Structure 1
């Protein structure tokens, strides 16, 4: 688990200065690969704990993300978010309940899509990944909403004034804008963010660990009110 600290987030500041510059890419698995074979657990000379580093490029690290939601979208819904960045059971898995309010301070319905997106934001904000000699953060998610939204759809949304192709308001706009701001933050310090669509049924042990962590936290039924930044405990 992680510590939490209050985080002031201003909605007007959440829009990146250059959307095109910070849009990320999706990476794909070859038919013979799995997330675990492409990003095996390893302990390099720069690591204090094992990471999931790319087998051909140790500057690329995978973080598994997941979510769980009970009573999706209903008035009594509660959800949780999780991510796994190391096989270390004590320090490598983080989970937290989804807040009622978003980074702009507005209240939102609790949904699984929202929790999946929030998990990614939590993972990116958790620590200064660049200090672990990471040049590319690869977010692993089984949510096509998250992966395709971050790598494809958000381009159109921003061009259309946050409207879908049908002319409707984009759902979870506050979290998408927060995520774009995270992309910009990492881009400014030379760290790329990429996405990997993880097969739900064959995502491997660490993907399942993220799922179990999210389910366990969601089962507690907690729904915090305020959005808070999830950070590594000292």
Structure 2
């Protein structure tokens, strides 16, 4: 299997608010960057979407080392919480719904395709790839072509934007 490094970050201006994700994929000496912004979303959704979009960009099953500054994602996968949430009908416990189940479902499908390792890196701590992803994510928020995070606005209809 080919070995790929996937660096990801999500950002939000307000939470919820306009958000974006940034991705850097590295295979040997090749690099690819991806970024996109959304009108109204959350930081956790952008962190998740960064990992999803990075994995979706890989055309064949690979060994992927993922680097994220999101403890939410890294711990949910490494501690296997996300698998428990899914088995419990997307409930964190008897009273609390697991958030972002639409994105977790997408991620779990991708995790079946690739052999992945999740690594947590401290954000804003000088890791060049993480800093680059943060830059891509925050620049994506400034784009005039922000997308609608339809699943988020479906869950929170009172927070839809008018523009």
- TM over 0.5: same fold? yes
1:220 corresponds, among 117, 121, 143, to 143
1:116 corresponds, among 47, 56, 60, to 47
2:75 corresponds, among 141, 148, 151, to 148
Unmatched 5+ residue regions in structure 1? 1-57, 101-108, 228-234
User: How far off is 1:150 after superposition?
Assistant: 2.2
Greater Rg, structure 1 or structure 2? 1
1:97 aligns with 2:40: no
- 1:194 equivalent in structure 2: 117
User: How far off is 1:183 after superposition?
Assistant: 1.5
Structure having the higher helix fraction is 2
Residues in 2 aligned to 1:210 and 1:79: alpha-carbon distance in whole angstroms:
13
TM-score w.r.t. the length of structure 2 is: 0.78
User: How far off is 1:200 after superposition?
Assistant: 1.4
Residues in 2 aligned to 1:128 and 1:163: alpha-carbon distance in whole angstroms:
32
Task: Say if 2:4 and 2:26, in contact at 8 Å, map to a contact too.
Answer: no
- 1:210 equivalent in structure 2: 133
Task: Say if 1:79 and 1:221, in contact at 8 Å, map to a contact too.
Answer: no
Task: Say if 1:78 and 1:221, in contact at 8 Å, map to a contact too.
Answer: no
Aligned length: 147
CA RMSD between the two structures = 2.5
Task: Say if 1:78 and 1:222, in contact at 8 Å, map to a contact too.
Answer: no
Task: Say if 2:24 and 2:31, in contact at 8 Å, map to a contact too.
Answer: no
Pair 226,218 (structure 1): closer, same or farther in 2 beyond 3 Å: closer
User: How far off is 1:177 after superposition?
Assistant: 0.7
Segments ≥4 residues shifted beyond 4 Å: none
Task: Say if 1:97 and 1:218, in contact at 8 Å, map to a contact too.
Answer: yes
Unmatched 5+ residue regions in structure 2? 151-163
- 2:3 equivalent in structure 1: 60
1:84 corresponds, among 20, 24, 28, to 24
User: How far off is 1:199 after superposition?
Assistant: 1.6
Structure having the higher strand fraction is 2
Give CA deviations for 1:80-129 in whole Å, capped at 9, x if unaligned.
Answer: 11111139xx962211124x7xxxxxxxx610000100111100101315
Task: Say if 2:6 and 2:23, in contact at 8 Å, map to a contact too.
Answer: yes
